[in-house]
């Protein structure tokens, strides 16, 4: 029996192709076994169905068919916005409140094996916690104590979710929606409060305006009185200055008259006038004095004596 050489050649090519295919599969499996864990992520690894290790950032080798990635966990802070939940306050008012929770995974292993559905569990836990807290306070306290409610919820949720590998950072009440009749009453109350404040502000403004008007009138009256007083002072000062100047003028006039008279006598004396001239001057002086207002006139017994005439003139000057 003769064998065809082409048959052996075909068998060799088929074996080679199969071998290459096996090698290619092995390469693909090995290549896919290298896992790169990026920043802020973690891989939970199982070996033969049981927890084996938690991989952090870096490159890792996964043994094919014996190990598998059970869960990929993000270590970043996450936000969950839950739908509004109906709650009843201490004074039996039903309202709708929705919450926002900020959390992050602190333990990937506990997060993977601690609870079946962590997000669903957090939602239900936050709803029951919110009902318990709101049930202990009334409506007004609920509307004005958001920070207190947020803090209490965060503390309770943080403790409850710790076995699940979850760290609750913040809890915020997003909206508080009372019933429509309560909202209407609150709106009327706020409108009345605004009107009351407006009335108070208007009355306060009118009061301040009246006070300012009265103060302005007072200051104006004071300024007018001060101006009048200053005017009277200036007028009196002017009269005083005028009187002083008038008195000074009269004194200077009298002094000049007396000086002139004394100068005249001195000139007569220096001229060595005779007895007849002196007698004539004496008569002229007596005639002039008779025209004046003097009440005392001294007539010397000897008009011919010049000394008696001078004495008479001195007495007349004193009386004037």
pLDDT one-digit tens code per residue, 36-91: 899 999 999 999 989 999 999 989 988 888 889 999 999 999 999 988 888 988 88
Flag whether pLDDT at 164 surpasses 70. yes
Q: Over 80: is that where the pLDDT of 274 sits?
A: no
Residues 283-298: pLDDT tens digits? 566 556 555 555 555 5
pLDDT for the residue numbered 1: 46
Mean pLDDT on 250-259: 80
Whether the pLDDT of residue 213 is over 70: the answer is yes
Would you say residue 234 has pLDDT above 60? yes
| Secondary structure, 3-state, the chain | CCCCHHHHHHHHHHHHHHHHHHHHHHHHHHHHHEEEECCCEEEEEEECCEEEEEECCEEEECCCCCEEEEEEEECCCEEEECCCEEEECCCCCEEEEEEEEEEEECCHHHHHHCCCCHHHHHHHHHHHHHHHHHCCCCHHHHHHCHHHHHHHHHHHHHHHHHHHCEEEEEEEEEEEECCHHHHHHHHHHHHHHHHHHHHHHHHHHHHHHHHHHHHHHHHHHHHHHHHHHHHHHHHHHHHHHHHHHHHHHHHHHHHHHHHHHHHHHHHHHHHCCCHHHHHHHHHHHHHHHHCCCCCCCCCCCCCCCHHHHHHHHHHHHHHC
pTM recorded for the entire structure: 0.54
Output the pLDDT for position 243.
83
Average of per-residue pLDDT across 259-271: 71
């Amino acid at each position: 029996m003769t064998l065809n050489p082409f048959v052996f050649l075909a068998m060799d090519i088929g074996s080679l192709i199969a071998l290459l295919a096996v090698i290619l599969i092995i390469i693909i499996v090995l290549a896919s076994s290298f896992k790169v864990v990026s920043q802020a992520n973690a891989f939970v690894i199982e070996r033969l169905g049981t927890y084996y290790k938690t991989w952090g950032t870096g490159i890792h080798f996964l043994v094919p068919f014996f190990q598998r990635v059970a869960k990929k966990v993000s270590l970043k802070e996450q936000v969950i916005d839950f739908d509004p939940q109906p709650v009843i306050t201490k004074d039996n008012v039903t309202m709708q409140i929705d919450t926002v929770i900020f959390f992050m995974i602190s333990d990937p292993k506990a997060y993977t094996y601690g609870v079946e559905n962590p997000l669903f569990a957090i939602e239900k836990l936050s709803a029951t916690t919110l009902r318990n807290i709101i049930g202990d306070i009334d409506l007004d306290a609920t509307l004005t104590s958001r920070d207190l409610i947020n803090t209490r919820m965060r503390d309770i949720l943080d403790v409850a979710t710790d076995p699940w590998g979850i760290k609750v950072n913040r809890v915020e009440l997003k909206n508080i929606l009372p019933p429509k009749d309560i909202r209407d009453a609150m709106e009327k109350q706020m409108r009345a409060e605004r009107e009351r404040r407006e009335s108070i502000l208007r009355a306060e403004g009118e009061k301040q305006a009246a006070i300012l008007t009265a103060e302005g009138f007072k200051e104006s009256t004071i300024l007018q009185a001060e101006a009048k007083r200053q005017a009277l002072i200036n007028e009196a000062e002017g009269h005083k200055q005028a009187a002083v100047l008038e008195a000074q003028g009269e004194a200077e006039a009298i002094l000049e008259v007396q000086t002139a008279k004394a100068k005249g006598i001195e000139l007569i004396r220096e001229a060595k006038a005779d007895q007849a001239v002196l007698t004539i001057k004496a008569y002229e002086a007596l005639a002039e004095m008779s025209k004046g207002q003097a009440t005392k006139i001294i007539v010397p017994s000897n008009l011919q004596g010049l000394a008696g005439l001078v004495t008479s003139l001195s007495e007349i000057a004193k009386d004037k």
